[in-house]
Structure 1
Amino acid sequence: MTVHQHTGTTLTSALPTTPTPDAPRRPSGLRRGVLVAGGVFGCLVPSVWTLNFLRMLATGDLAEHRFHQLTGQGLLLTALWLGALVPMLVAAWRGYRPGTASALLHLSFFGIGTACAVAAPQGGSRELMVLILVTGSVVWLALPRRARLRVPVDVAPVALTAALLAGAVVAPYAVDQIGLQHDATGMHADNPHYFDMAWLTLTLAVAGLLGALLPTARQLLAVAGGGLALTGVAMLALSEGVLNGVLFTGVGMLLMVAWRLGAMVPGGRAIAEIRPSGQTL
């Protein structure tokens, strides 16, 4: 809301404005050193995995696992991992407060992975969660400005409906994947494809719900929608189940539409204030 005062008369207009970002707080040399250490070790595993998955896809290595190379134990999972961590590192290096969306995505990624690892501990899943916990904790402790996690809730009805539908689609699929992993033997016990699929899809579903509830994390709707839609397309293209493929693609597209609708509809609340002196806050 913009308020003008002139000769005793107050005029109010609903001009949308934006807040001035928090002033950067330049991190010390020590803090930057800790950030580099946490960032290097935190990004090393997903980066190496990404290169390896790309090599496998390009050469046809283990072609029978192409679906997982693209999704759960593959490119989508590492994209989520790096997509949560890298923006936090960049913001911290520049002295800015990390965005709520990336911070919540990082916490969700770890929390859901830990829950899945407890339910299906085969194939080194618990050790992987310890790695993410240690490297992630180093990054969080080194942040010069903490991410805002206690933010106002403002429900986007269309997006919430889409997110709940996505959750209804993902939940039974993830439970089935955890069951398969828990009972797996041989290669699948040592190489936890099913655990990874549950981890990926549940993280995407939670991201969609957070995006529908929190105005400062609306972009998570795009993350969730894009990830679920790509998973569904991969299911259809690689014969991983027609029904699940259609459902995942459908709810993913719904989340994307909800995100675009939210981006096009102007908000009714004031985003900044202009003082009589002309200073923008």
Structure 2
Amino acid sequence: MPELPEVQAVVDGLRHVLPGRRIVSVHVRRADVCRPSGAAVRRLLTGARVTEVFRRAKNIVAPTDAGVVLRVHLGMTGRLLFYPGTSGRPGHTAVTFRLDGGATLVYADVRRFGRVEALEEATWEGRSQALGPEPLDPALGAAEFHRRLATSRTPVRSWLLDPRRVAGVGNIYATEALFGARIHPTRPAASLTRAEAGRLLREVRRALDSGIRAGGTTLRDYRNIDGQEGENARNLRAYGREGSACPRCGAPIERLVFGGRSAFLCPRCQPAPP
């Protein structure tokens, strides 16, 4: 699933090509990805001009001059691809936006767990306010991060994945951050000391920054708006490395499944809670 760095890479690409363009037409091939409906997405966005593009959590957000916000969530396998001309139509195309100047923006999704949504600005603001703080926001300090952790007994990996706690951290980057901070993923969030919380916040930011600089992590499906893969997979130290030697101590990386997802850890560097 695309996480914060992958979504940021898409947003960074769109910022160069989308603001100021008018949506000439919307062609919906797979209405099940659209909210509130394919017809509503077409009606609300046709003729609207995109004013900006930004990321909030794992959402790609494009407000328009019509007072309507285009929100795209890539789900598991979604891709948002930009073509300077009108000829681009990748496999599994779900929604096509024809733009002025002859360009095309295509949302494609193999499994169709993603969403293309048209919503009012006030509705989007309410959604955004329900999300937790952005992990890369300098305003989120170690003391506040520790205070938030201290309110929950949920496993710290699950806490990191909850967008109401902190916005946009997915399983890849939570795994890398916990490895870097030497914290076992099943430890209760409230058990972390202030020093551990500060270390974890630094490692979350380090992992996310690494992913952003590398254009995201492509394990299988993720592509940027030009169809290019991200290069961060080569930087992963724990995620997906079951059986490989820990780069710190040499112990074999282990895989642990809980909460329906795989966690990867070093049993020596990240001791299990008692």
- TM normalised by structure 2 equals 0.24
Higher relative contact order (CA 8 A, sep 6+): 1
Q: Report the structure number with the largest CA radius of gyration.
A: 1
Richer in strand (by share): 2
TM-score (norm 1): 0.24
